């Protein structure tokens, strides 16, 4: 049976429907040669009624997307959600990311009508070494349509703050030679954090700029736990404000829980804050939920003065 033919009675009913309600659903046309691929009987019925024009939508066949994802230190892309619109349905496994150091996003969407699209979400974790601007070009193509490309870029902002390991000095931080402490490891014993926390201490360094005399700058911390996991405590009151030449200017005032400090900066300018924390101060407290959480350190100045470290169970 010819799929483009229908019984006379059905054809007459279709014609009456179009006469009464109009051609509601557009005709589907192949873009490269204007061949009708959907709605043949609706087109014939419209012609019988004397319609000189009908609404159409074009179909792009074999649509693909390719994106050589930008690479960089600490960059590793993962595929997120695919969000279609315009009535398009994304098939399972339509997109994938391949490669390690050099990664490529590839998608095969099949046929798409004009007005349909898909938003592909990709993301990557970053580190302090990832600070850069990453240009990116994605290319879409159909078997019946030339390739089209779009450019964009994303910038990873360099943090002004740093979580640094034991023995890191102000001079190390100022010179840019200080290492980044990426995580603190812990174990659990009887539902609480055991003493075997490694490393046992760490530093939070940050560069600040004040703009008013006697401006108070406060350092605080938080974590991403869902059960109120304990915060790290300052070790022996070691919270200092330095000049950019690493001269000690004043000692900070600890908050009530010794988890942060405030500094009254007499003269506007640029300074370095250094706080030494005891990682072992959370030993004996309730184990966090989830088991791996992030501790975030920030100043009341906001911006890029913060830093973070992962607390990881091992």
* Residue whose structure tokens are 């059960």: 227
The pLDDT value recorded for residue 61 is 85
DSSP assignments along 101-144, one per residue? SSEEEEEEEEEEETT-EEEEEEEEE--GGG-EEEEEEEEEEETT
- Token code pair at residue 124: 């990557």
The pLDDT value recorded for residue 275 is 98
Distance, CA of 126 to CA of 170 (rounded, Å): 24
The residue extents of the domains of the chain are 61-156, 161-313
Continuous H helices in the chain:
8-21, 40-48, 170-175
CATH dotted code for 161-313: 2.60.40
- Token code pair at residue 261: 């400090």
The pLDDT value recorded for residue 223 is 96
Distance, CA of 147 to CA of 144 (rounded, Å): 10
The pLDDT value recorded for residue 3 is 47
Q: Spell out the per-residue pLDDT of the chain, length 314, in tens.
A: 344 567 878 877 878 887 878 877 777 777 667 777 677 788 888 788 888 778 777 788 899 999 999 998 889 999 999 999 988 899 999 999 999 989 999 999 998 887 789 999 999 987 666 778 999 999 999 988 889 999 999 988 766 799 999 999 999 998 888 999 989 999 999 999 999 999 999 999 999 999 999 999 999 999 999 999 999 999 999 999 999 999 999 999 999 999 999 999 999 999 999 999 999 999 999 999 999 999 999 999 988 899 999 999 99
């Amino acid at each position: 049976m010819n799929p483009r033919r229908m019984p006379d009675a059905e054809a007459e009913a279709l014609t009456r429907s179009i006469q009464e309600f109009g051609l509601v659903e557009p005709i589907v046309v192949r873009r490269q040669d204007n061949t009708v691929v959907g709605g043949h009987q609706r087109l014939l019925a419209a012609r019988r009624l004397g319609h000189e024009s009908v609404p159409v939508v074009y179909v792009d066949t074999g649509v693909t997307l390719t994106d050589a994802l930008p690479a960089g230190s600490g960059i590793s892309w993962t595929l997120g959600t695919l969000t279609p619109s315009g009535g398009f349905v994304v098939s399972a496994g339509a997109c994938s990311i391949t490669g390690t150091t050099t990664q490529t996003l590839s998608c095969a969407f099949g046929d798409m009508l004009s007005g349909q699209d898909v938003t592909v979400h990709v993301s990557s974790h970053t580190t302090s070494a990832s600070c850069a601007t990453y240009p990116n070009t994605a290319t879409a193509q159909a078997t019946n349509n030339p390739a089209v490309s779009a450019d964009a870029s994303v910038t990873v902002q360099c943090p002004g703050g740093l979580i640094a390991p034991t023995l890191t000095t102000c001079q190390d931080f100022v010179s840019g030679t200080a290492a980044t402490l990426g995580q603190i490891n812990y174990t659990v014993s009887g539902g609480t954090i055991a003493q075997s926390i490694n490393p046992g201490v760490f530093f939070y360094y940050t560069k600040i700029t004040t703009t008013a005399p006697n401006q108070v700058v406060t350092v605080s911390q938080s974590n991403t736990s869902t059960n109120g996991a304990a915060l790290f405590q300052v070790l022996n009151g070691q919270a200092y404000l330095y000049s950019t030449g690493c001269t000690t200017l004043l000692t900070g005032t600890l908050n009530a829980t010794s988890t942060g400090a405030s500094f009254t900066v007499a003269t506007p300018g640029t300074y370095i804050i250094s706080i030494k924390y005891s990682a072992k101060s959370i030993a004996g407290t309730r184990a966090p939920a989830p088991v791996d959480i992030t501790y975030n350190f920030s100043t009341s100045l906001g911006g890029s003065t913060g830093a973070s470290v992962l607390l990881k169970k091992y």
